[in-house]
Amino acid sequence: MSTKQLARELGLLRQRSKSSNGSKSLLSNQIFPFLIVIDFESTCWREKKNSTQEIIEFPAVLLNTSTGEIQSEFHTYVQPQEHPVLSEFCTELTGITQSQVEAGIPLHICLSRFSRWLQKLQLEMGVVFPNGPQRSSAPSPSQKPCAFVTWSDWDLGVCLQYECKRKQLHKPDVLNSWIDLRSTYRLFYDRKPKGLNGALQDLGIQFSGREHSGLDDSRNTAQLAARIMRDGCVMKITRSLEKTAKKQIRTRKSRRASQSRSAPPLHPSKDLHPLHLVCPA
């Protein structure tokens, strides 16, 4: 097999005219001038597969899609409260120690500080979110649409979503929609990635830092997103909890209406006749 054929199979020739200008602006067709990449780390155990997980590291990095550079970062360790003592397996996997989470903050305070960081970005850079309070059908020139990016739907669709429900915490509405970069990668290159590191390696990018460090994973995911955009991919929202909830409501209403139409009518001589009433003795 020739080098060109191999490259074509790997998806490396896709949008070659765009990717060959890697140093130029990535923004030409992008919907979002900014992306915020999130990659949580949570409590985990070698054996307890069904135990509830809690966030212990909350990182976020702001990627400028015009330059491919990270412009701002948010990072904190979070105190687990349901299972306050980390397992040895968790520390080995993530590198996060018991002393780091004990010096961290509860999730509700973390979310409050994260919201303040987002507000700072809104004031200083004009970022707006698809489902945020500033959303509009046509953003003004001073507004810079921004979307969240994760590697899979787990971070925002499972981990944070269910922890906030269990603990009855308010979750910022802006975190209800995001771009699943794993799904985007698979659709764009027409191949299934072997994890984040595998996806980077497929594109000739060296993973920087420590795997399963939330902050390092976020930075590397941002670099992967930048590369995918250079290859010509336009980033689009892949998941919205609000749309999912509305669809579920419509489905339930449709099911109830269908059941109502199919229910047998009351028989006047049996269901309503007074002689069929049982009177107490």
> Based on the structure, what is the number of domains in the chain?
1
Residue 89 contacts residue 67 (beta carbons within 8 Å): no
| Structural domain contains residue 120 | yes
Give the integer Cα–Cα distance in Å for 38 and 155. Answer: 8
| Structural domain contains residue 105 | yes
Per-residue pLDDT of the chain (281 residues; tens, 9 = 90+): 543 444 444 444 444 334 444 445 666 689 999 999 999 999 999 987 778 999 999 999 999 999 999 999 999 999 999 999 999 999 999 999 999 999 999 999 999 999 999 999 999 999 999 876 655 556 677 899 999 999 999 999 999 999 999 999 999 999 999 999 999 999 999 999 999 999 999 999 999 999 999 999 999 999 999 999 999 999 999 999 986 655 545 545 556 656 666 656 555 444 444 434 344 44
At residue 130, the pLDDT reads 86
Closest CA to 155 of 246, 253, 45, 241: 241
Does an H or E element contain 144, and which?
Answer: strand 144-150
Give the integer Cα–Cα distance in Å for 230 and 15. Answer: 9
* Amino acid (1-letter code) at residue 234: V
| Structural domain contains residue 88 | yes
| Structural domain contains residue 12 | no
| Structural domain contains residue 117 | yes
Q: Provide the domain limits for residue 110.
A: 22-242
| Structural domain contains residue 156 | yes
At residue 29, the pLDDT reads 83
| Structural domain contains residue 65 | yes
* Amino acid (1-letter code) at residue 19: S
Q: Which residues are catalytic?
A: 41, 212
Global confidence as pTM: 0.79
Phi-psi region of 34 (alpha: psi -120 to 50; beta: other; left: phi over 0): beta
**Cβ atoms within 10 Å of 15's Cβ, excluding its own:** 15
| Structural domain contains residue 249 | no
At residue 141, the pLDDT reads 79
At residue 187, the pLDDT reads 98
CATH of the domain at 171: 3.30.420.10
